[in-house]
Amino acid sequence: MSEIADHAVDRQALRRCQRQGLIWVAEEGNRTVGYVIAAVLDGNAHIEQVSVAPTHARRGIGRQLIAHVEGWGRRSGRPATTLTTFRDVPWNGPYYRRLGYRELANTEIGHELTTTMRHEAALPGMDSSLRCAMIKANRGAP
C-alpha cells in the first residue's frame, strides 16, 4: 500500500479542521504520537482519519482516539459514529469490528458518506472494491 502511505498531507485541509476543533492528538512527553480527524456526515460523527506512529502502535492509543470521537459525537447528540476503511486489512475492518463497528449495506449508506467514498475511490492506490463503510450506534440512540 505504498501509494496510499505516500499520500501528501493536505495542510490546508488540516488547518481548516484545526480551526473547526475537529482534530485531537495523542501526546507522549512533548511528541505527537497519533491523531484523529473527525467530521459530521449525514448527521453522524465520522472518523475521517486516525493514525498512530508505528513506534507507539498496539498500546491502545488508536482505541482511545476513536473513543474520543465517539464521546464527542455522543455529547453532541449524534446517533452514531461512521468511518470508511479497508474491509480486510487487519488494522482496519477487523480492528473496527473488535471496537463494535459493523459494515453498512450499500442501501444504508447516506448521501454525504457516499460522496466521501467516491472521493476516496479516486485517490491513487485505492481499490474501491476493497473498501467499506462502517457504523457504531451510540448507546441509547434509536
Residues near ligand COA (CB under 6 A): 50-52, 57-63, 85, 90-92, 95
| Dist. CA 131–CA 32, nearest whole Å | 28
Residue the block writes with cell 500500500: 1
Please report the DSSP string for 107-136 in residue order. GG--HHHHHHHHHHHTSTT--GGGEEEEEE
Query: Which CB sits closer to ligand COA, 59 or 74?
Result: 59
Query: Which CB sits closer to ligand COA, 18 or 94?
Result: 94
Query: Which CB sits closer to ligand COA, 32 or 91?
Result: 91
Q: Shortest Cβ distance from residue 15 to ligand COA (Å)?
A: 21
> By C-alpha distance, which of 123, 117, 121 is closest to 7?
123
The answer to whether 26 and 35 are in contact (CB under 8 A) is yes
> Nearest residue to ligand COA, using CB?
62
Query: Which CB sits closer to ligand COA, 50 or 126?
Result: 50
